[in-house]
Structure 1
Amino acid sequence: MFDIDRWREIFQSISKNKLRSALSGFTVAFAILLFTLLFGIGNGLQNTFKNEFAKDAMNSIYIWTNNTTIAYKGNQIGRRIQFKNDDFTYIKENFGDKIQTISPRIQRSANVVYKDEKDNYTIRGVYPEYYVLESAEVTEGRFLNYRDLQENGKVVVIGKMVEKDLFGQLSAFGKQINISGIMYKVIGVFSDPGGDSDERYIYTPFTTMQKMYGNNDYVDEFGITYNPDLSIDEAIAFSSELHRELKKRHNVSPNDQRGIGLDNYATNNKEVSGMMFGLSILILVIGFGTLIAGVVGISNIMVYIVKERTKELGIRKAVGATPKMIVAMIMQEAIFITAISGYAGLLVGIGILEFAGPSLEKYFILNPSVSQPVVIGATLTLVCAGLIAGYLPAKKAAKIKPVVALNSD
């Protein structure tokens, strides 16, 4: 393998047969390039799906109310459904074993002012458990707690973009901000994997929100994370039962899809998992199809190369080369060409993905990339195919008598 004379012969053979070597290398490089691009784009699509679900906990369920679209039990169409605090108690008492966390929510838009800076933001009144639903991360201070709820505290936790808008480079922690004419203390700042839009929310205690905005017991929405021990099918069955019981409780027709709305991420997860599985299979089929095409190409070239070099091999045998030495030389040359070409195809493919990555986001392909072990494995597959394709004719050619080989056309 490390025989200098053999390597010298290999490089001489490559330099004397540039077209032959270039065709061999191009076949491998092109196959690996296509393989890299296909897997990169496939991973980009999967990243898009994952990014969409990064905005909230994967086991989230959201329930909200609206106007009815079907008359039911003497109630007119268009009746507004309104959740209240006792619905919160009802859900916890009847479905507590299937719930991990639950938080009611009230949401309003309000003008927020800090010194000379002001803007309009969405204010959310929530329980401390809502922190889990949003998959948020407090970067400074803390999130809401139950003491804030009990005391109707005028405190807020703001997103990083709110801090940036109102405070610039300064820290918002501990500062006072004016929300619709009422002063609130900033007790925390959070970041959110959902991006800038989710970092422009402001959270305040649910009880404070109820008292300051209506002084009633109304609830806009419930956010729930279901018990992680539930399977996807069990989680879907749980949300369906909850949906059905809340409709009964508020006299909403079972066929009315608008009066009480529900979004269960388990359903979305099941659909997306199916799509991602199908996408993975499609990518594998196309990717392996590309590899097979590469295998056929490199195999044909190797057969042609050995046949073309029959006379050369005869000369080598005439001057003392053994069959084993001839086969080893051809195999070593094949490994060298396929390895270098495969690595070149890998580099070009990764370069294209990195260059085109930002522009592909508008086509829902986020951060297209491919793991090197996958592509290296594909390259090794082509190398092995080249070796197998070259070994048999090389072994056959090595057995030919020098006289016969020298007289071959």
Structure 2
Amino acid sequence: MFNRDTWLEIAHTVLSHPLRTALTGVSIALGVFILVVMQGLGFGLQNGVEQQFADDAVNSIWVQAGRTQLAYKGNQANKQVKIRENDVEAMFAEMDTVYASSRRIRKWGVQMEHGDQAGSYPIRGVDPDHQMLENTKLTDGRYVNQRDIDEETKIAVLGQTIVDEIYQGENPIGTHIIIGGVLFSVVGTFNDPASRWENKMAVVPYSTAKKLFRGGRDKVDQVILGTGDMKIAKTITLTDRLLNWFKERKSVHPEDSRGIWMNNNNEEYQKYQNIFMGIELFIWGIGLLTLLAGAVGVANILAIAVKERTKEIGVRKALGATGLSIVGLVVQESLALMLVSGCLGLVMGVGLLEFVSPFIDHEYFQNPQVDSRIALVALAVLSVVGVISGIGPAIRAVSIKPVEALRDE
């Protein structure tokens, strides 16, 4: 298999028709190149989307009120629906198990000051489970806890953008920051690489935000529910049941899609997984069809080569060459052409992705690289296709009789 003279002979045979060999090699290299680049781009898109899901717990359901589209039970269209704390408590009573939950109060454009630095940023009033439901990664300090909720403490957890712009290198833990004219103690910081928007937020206890920024009113902007290890089908059933319950409780028309809004992250994540699986199968289909076209080209080249070398093959058999050695020679030629061309396409595809990767900076498209397993699979496919491509011409070569071959020309 690895005889030096044999491989020199294969190289001479393949290179004896440079144009024919080059055209076939280019088709194979182009097929692998397209496969690698498309896989890399699909991988980059998948990374970006999964990073966005990493920003929130996948096993969660989000509840939010909006404006009605349809008049219903005495309520006019375009009426603002409001979720109250007693609605949240009643919703919990409708659930068999509450794995985790957090109410949210949102306020935009709040003035924040520390020393001579100031800026306008949004804040969120949350419950302790919010850290898990939002997948918040602390970089220092701690998060909101139940004692903060019970005692309405004036503590804040700052996003990395606020730390960079307001503190400018100073460690914020243990310092004070003025938020909306009220002095807060900074107890923690967090960084969310998946969302620049999250890093511009300051998080405070829900009860504190309600008292200071809502005047004690019990309006809840959002509710996040954790679904634990529930099966996706059960979370879908739960979401539909809670949505219908909420619409009935708040007198929202059953067909109204804006009055009460619920998002099941379990279901959404599964949808994206299915989409990317379909994209990956499509990419592999295109790549394999392209490789198949290249394999047909290789088979044609070898068939022509066998025809041209009929007399040579006859001489080999007359001198005692076995059928297996002739089959091995033809198959090795096919394999060499497939692997050399395929590796060239693989290197070009990986090189292109490595070149463009540093210039791509988008939340929904990150790190377009090729998985090493895909490269190994591509090489394995090339090897198999190379062997298959050489079988037909090899059988033709073995069937040549020495007497007929020597008489052929």
Structure 2 length normalisation: TM-score?
0.89
- C-alpha distance in 1 between matches for 2:286 and 2:324: 38
What CA deviation, in whole Å up to 9, does each residue of 1:106-143 have, x standing for no partner? 11121011112111111111001111121111111111
Q: What residue number does 2:105 align with?
A: 106
Residue 395 of structure 1 deviates from its aligned partner by 4.2
CA distance in 2, matches of 1:355, 1:316: 49
| Letter aligned with residue 93 of structure 2 | E
Q: What secondary structure, in the 3-state scheme, does the structure 2 residue paired with 1:120 have? A: strand
Match of 2:144? 144
Q: Is the 8 A contact 2:57 2:133 kept in 1?
A: yes
Partner letter of residue 336 of structure 2? F
Q: Once structures 1 and 2 are overlaid, which stretch shifts more, 301-310 or 276-285?
A: 276-285
String of CA shifts for 1:291-318, please: whole Å, max 9, x gaps.
3222222222222222222233234445
Relative to 1, partners in 2 of residues 1:297 and 1:2: Cα closer, same or farther, differing over 3 Å?
Answer: closer
* Corresponding residue number in structure 1 for 2:81: 81
Paired AA for residue 65 in structure 1:
A
Distance 2:9 2:283 in 1: 41
- Answering whether residue 19 of structure 2 is matched by residue 28 of structure 1, we say no
1:5 corresponding residue in structure 2 = 5
The answer to whether the Cα contact below 8 Å between 2:63 and 2:262 also exists between their aligned partners in 1 is: yes
| CA RMSD in angstroms, aligned pairs only | 2.7
Can you give the 5+ residue segments of structure 1 that lack an aligned partner in the other structure? none
Correspondence for 1:47: 47
Return closer, same or farther for 1:66/1:15 CA change in 2, 3 Å cut-off: closer
Alignment identity in percent? 34
Change in 2 beyond 3 A, CA 1:316/1:203: same
Point out the more displaced range, 131-140 or 2-11: 2-11
Alignment correspondent of 1:202: 202
CA contact (8 A) 2:163 2:172 kept: yes
Distance 1:380 1:251, change over 3 A: closer
Q: How does 1:211-230 map to 2 (within 5 A)?
A: 211-230=211-230
Number of residue-to-residue matches in the alignment: 408
Go from structure 1 to structure 2 and tell me whether the alpha carbon gap of 1:56 and 1:406 turns closer, same or farther (over 3 Å shift).
same
- Cα distance change on mapping 1:372 and 1:60 into 2, 3 Å: same
CA distance in structure 2 between the aligned counterparts of 1:297 and 1:194, rounded to whole angstroms: 46
Whether the 8 Å CA contact 2:126–2:206 is kept in 1: the answer is yes
For residue 38 of structure 2, what is the amino acid of its counterpart? L
CA distance in 1, matches of 2:367, 2:73: 53
Q: 1:373 to 1:309 in 2, by over 3 A?
A: farther
- Matched with 2:115 is 115
Letter in 1 for 2:66: N
Where in structure 2 are there 5+ consecutive unaligned residues? none
User: How many Å separate the matches in 2 of 1:364 and 1:200?
Assistant: 19
CA distance in structure 1 between the partners assigned to 2:18 and 2:256 by the alignment: 73
Secondary structure, counterpart of 1:354 in structure 2: helix
Cα distance, 1:391 vs. partner? 3.4
Query: What does residue 405 of structure 2 align with?
Result: 405
CA distance in 1, matches of 2:169, 2:360: 32
Question: What whole-Å deviation, never above 9, does each CA across 1:314-333 have from its counterpart, x for those lacking one?
Answer: 34445554443333333333
Residues 1:309 and 2:309 aligned together = yes
| Aligned 8 A contact 2:40 2:353 in 1 | yes
Deviation at 1:203, TM superposition (A): 0.4
Specify the SS of the correspondent of 1:73. coil
Q: Distance in 1 between matches of 2:148 and 2:154?
A: 8
Alpha-carbon spacing, 1:407–1:380, altered in 2? closer, same or farther (3 Å): farther
Contact preservation (8 Å) 1:56, 1:194: no
Distance 1:362 1:336 in 2: 40
AA aligned opposite 2:385: A
1:239 is matched by which residue type in structure 2?
T
Superposed displacement of residue 401, structure 1: 4.2
1:252 aligned partner: 252
SS of 2:194's equivalent in the other structure is coil
